[in-house]
Structure 1
Amino acid sequence: MIDIHCHILPDLDDGAKHMEESVRMARQAVDQGIHAVIATPHHKTTRYENDRQTVLESVRQLNNRLREEHIPLKVHPGQEIRIFEHMGHTFDETELLSLNETGVYVLIELPSHEIPRYTDHLIYNLSTQGYIPIIAHPERNQVILENSDILYEFVKNGGLSQVTASNLTGKLGKKVRHFSESLIEHNLAHVIASDAHHIEHRAFDLQDAYQSVRKRMDTAYVKQLSENAYDILNGERIHSYEPTRLKSKGLFGWFK
């Protein structure tokens, strides 16, 4: 199993201390049946700046440690990039990382409570440069929760989206779980990832998430979601179905 979005790298302010947490997370990932992850530390937020060279060096150090510990997990480089206005004009490969350095997929993050006015142009511009933007956890964005047509337009404009495993298992409540499931059912979500941060309150939940989706979707579709993660890791084009609009707008309109 592949996880394309997790925060397994040690915190850079105290690497010696947090390397142990990274090793514990690696063991947990293996217990979940995961054999490869893309490390996606936050970049360009108000708190975090994890540029390309920093990430590459941290991945190298962590993989060395995992080999020493005989933990069968391979960590690949990436970033979860908080979008900024000039990002789509020219993708700066001296600072920014595509997922696994394939030059294809870019994991982008929206603010939690808004959709910046330039987002649609950014997605389009990245697409015209040959990149495929993947929107991280759109089910957590309050604007998309109230109007899923916004995500529909992003997908029609060349973007993909990734839902978080714990949201499919209900850890953020039934409403977010139902919304996440609806995104998958309407081909508005293309891959499941853990977005794991810690071994306890934000852990790897991929097995439970896939089990939840199996209850609602056919086996072939669930298999395709899993294969999409492999394709993203390897820079191959995923198989995607034509997206459809959700029948009702607004999370609270569906689940009264």
Structure 2
Amino acid sequence: MFHFFSKKLFLKDLLEDFVDIHNHILPGIDDGAKTIEDALLLIKKMKELGVKQFIPTPHIMQDFYPNTDESIGGAYQILLEALSASKSLDTITVNPAAEYMLDSHFESLLENKNLFTLKRDYVLIEMSYFQAPINLEDIIFKIKTQGYLPILAHPERYSFYHNNLEYYKRLKQLGCFFQLNLLSLGNHYGKNVEKTASYLIEEQLIDFVGTDIHNEGHVDKLSNLTLNKKIVKSLNGIIENTNRTFSVI
């Protein structure tokens, strides 16, 4: 239950039965969990926060993490077997997808309609933190014309938009959904990201939230994250929308 009358408002009180649509818990295939032991620890600690379902989203980046259906499926199978053998975690639901860097490799996969989606036709995309693709609007158009629904991961973290906040509304007009990282509600990524996250919530531009956890330190920060009271009502609605859209139970 959320403690409205406590001095501090904790994020974890909003996460009961949460569906985490962005995380890196699959072992050994990107910069998230390195081993199956790491993966199980992350899941255990996230379950304690209230998470009941995970959609792991390993990076697919041509130059760094060239993951495929085979590498993702292999890591998923290892995780499933470990979860089945665990008495405390055997009720956890995991359905993998991917987080796609908008590079030339992605465009090739898109043309072949070979994308590892979230539930239904939602596809999670990300950009370089240095600059957006020159043809970003064209890519979004192509994603939609291929029948997919683009979700831009952590829009608040792209610093090149921090002085051009109106462009976020342009991306929304193009049909791009936004997924905010919950750690952006604190100072984990810096004050500018935190400020932009609040702006996007207040402007009702955020559709979904996820944790984007990579390691135990991220979970510990989520456990202790306190919230700005101004955004609690809106954030609660976004969490409910995330759960409603992506729950498989």
Normalised-by-shorter TM-score class: 0.7 to 0.9
SS at match of 1:53: helix
Report the identity percentage.
27
Contact (CA 8 Å) 1:139, 1:176: kept in 2 or not?
yes
Contact (CA 8 Å) 1:85, 1:118: kept in 2 or not?
no
Match among 86, 104, 109 for residue 126 of structure 2: 109
Tell me the residue number matched to 1:168. Answer: 185
Alpha-carbon offset, residue 188 of structure 1: 2.0
For residues 185 and 219 of structure 2, the distance between their equivalents in structure 1, rounded to whole angstroms, comes to 13
Contact (CA 8 Å) 2:24, 2:214: kept in 1 or not?
yes
Do the aligned partners of residues 84 and 225 (structure 1) sit closer, same or farther apart at CA in structure 2, a change above 3 Å counting?
same
For residues 3 and 171 of structure 1, the distance between their equivalents in structure 2, rounded to whole angstroms, comes to 19
> Residue type matched to 1:162 in 2?
Q
Residues 1:77 and 2:96 are matched in the alignment = yes
Contact (CA 8 Å) 2:23, 2:56: kept in 1 or not?
yes
> Residue type matched to 1:92 in 2?
N
For residues 149 and 45 of structure 1, the distance between their equivalents in structure 2, rounded to whole angstroms, comes to 31
TM-score (norm 2): 0.81
For residues 175 and 141 of structure 1, the distance between their equivalents in structure 2, rounded to whole angstroms, comes to 10
For residues 205 and 232 of structure 1, the distance between their equivalents in structure 2, rounded to whole angstroms, comes to 26
Tell me the residue number matched to 1:248. Answer: none
For residues 109 and 126 of structure 1, the distance between their equivalents in structure 2, rounded to whole angstroms, comes to 13
Q: Superposed, which structure 2 residues align to 1:90-129 within 5 Å?
A: 90-94=110-114, 96-100=115-119, 102=120, 104-129=121-146
Contact (CA 8 Å) 1:99, 1:105: kept in 2 or not?
yes
Unaligned runs of 5+ residues in structure 1 are 236-256
Contact (CA 8 Å) 1:105, 1:232: kept in 2 or not?
no
Residues 1:57 and 2:83 are matched in the alignment = no
For residues 199 and 80 of structure 2, the distance between their equivalents in structure 1, rounded to whole angstroms, comes to 37
Alpha-carbon offset, residue 162 of structure 1: 1.1
Do the aligned partners of residues 194 and 226 (structure 1) sit closer, same or farther apart at CA in structure 2, a change above 3 Å counting?
same
Q: What RMSD, in angstroms, separates the aligned Cα atoms of the two structures?
A: 2.5
Match among 224, 231, 241 for residue 217 of structure 1: 231
> Residue type matched to 2:67 in 1?
N
> Residue type matched to 1:233 in 2?
F
TM-score (norm 1): 0.79
Contact (CA 8 Å) 1:194, 1:204: kept in 2 or not?
no
Do the aligned partners of residues 119 and 173 (structure 1) sit closer, same or farther apart at CA in structure 2, a change above 3 Å counting?
same
Alpha-carbon offset, residue 46 of structure 1: 2.0
SS at match of 1:230: helix
Tell me the residue number matched to 1:157. Answer: 174
Tell me the residue number matched to 1:34. Answer: 51
Report the number of matched residues: 226
For residues 29 and 158 of structure 1, the distance between their equivalents in structure 2, rounded to whole angstroms, comes to 31
111-120 vs 55-64, greater mean Cα deviation: 55-64
> Residue type matched to 1:199 in 2?
E
Alpha-carbon offset, residue 61 of structure 1: 2.1
Do the aligned partners of residues 76 and 189 (structure 1) sit closer, same or farther apart at CA in structure 2, a change above 3 Å counting?
same
Do the aligned partners of residues 23 and 218 (structure 1) sit closer, same or farther apart at CA in structure 2, a change above 3 Å counting?
closer
Superimposed CA distance per residue, residues 108-142 of structure 1 (whole angstroms, 9 cap, x where no aligned partner):
01100101111111112212222111111111112
SS at match of 1:197: coil
> Residue type matched to 2:227 in 1?
S
SS at match of 1:172: coil
SS at match of 1:106: strand
Alpha-carbon offset, residue 59 of structure 1: 1.6
Tell me the residue number matched to 2:155. Answer: 138
